[in-house]
Amino acid sequence: MQMDKKWYVIRAISGQENKVKTYIENEVARLGVGDYVGQILVPVEKVYQIRKGKRVNKERTYFPGYVMIEANLDGELGHAIKSTPGVIGFLGETKGGDPIPMRSSEVNRMLGKVDELAELESSVVIPHVIGETVKVVDGPFNGFTGTVESISEEKRKLAVMVLIFGRKTPLELNYMQVEKVS
C-alpha cells in the first residue's frame, strides 16, 4: 500500500536536533507506525577549526533548531511528534491548526542542499579576526607576536604584521602557524 508522505519541518530546541531525531525514531518504533514515516533529517555541514595549532573536524547543524521529517501525519502521529521532548511544534502551523507540508520546490532545494553538504570538502572556520594579536608558533618566525592585517580565505593565509629589529614587517602565514594570544 502506497502512503502519501509529505515533508514537514519540526521546530526543536536549538542544539538538541539530533536528540529530537532519536526521540522521534524511538517513538515511531514504539507506536509501530514506521510505515507512516519516511526519513528524518538533521542537515549538517562538516567544518574544521584550528585549535591550539591543530585541525579539529566538527559537524555543525545547517538549520539550527529544525528537523525535517517525511511522514503521513494521519491519526495520532502528528500529536505523538508534538509531544516528543525537545519538540516545540511544526513550522507553519497556526495555533491549534494542522501542520503545513513543505512545497515540492522547497523540498527539492533542501534535499539538494543536504546532498551538496555531504559532498562538500569541509569548509574552514577562520578562528582569527583582523586586528587580533597572534603568536607565531611554527616556521622561522616562531615566538614572534604580531597583529592580523588581512585574511585570505582562498589561500587560507593570514597577513600578520610583526616587529623585527624595530621595523614592522608583513608575514604571510598559514592558519596553522599562528595562535591567539590570550
Query: 90 near 78, Cβ under 8 Å?
Result: yes
**Does residue 16 belong to any structural domain of this protein?**
yes
> For position 25, what pLDDT does the model report?
94
Query: 93 near 99, Cβ under 8 Å?
Result: yes
For the full predicted model, state whether its pTM sits above 0.75: no
- What the block records as the C-alpha cell of 159 is 597577513
Distance CA 47, CA 60 (A): 7
> For position 124, what pLDDT does the model report?
58
Residues 16 and 101 placed together within one structural domain of the fold: yes
Q: Tally the domains of the chain.
A: 2
CATH number for the domain including 112? 3.30.70.940
Distance CA 101, CA 122 (A): 31
> For position 125, what pLDDT does the model report?
63
**Does residue 20 belong to any structural domain of this protein?**
yes
> For position 166, what pLDDT does the model report?
86
Residues of the chain with pLDDT below 50 are none
Query: 47 near 122, Cβ under 8 Å?
Result: yes
Q: Which domain holds residue 102?
A: 6-125
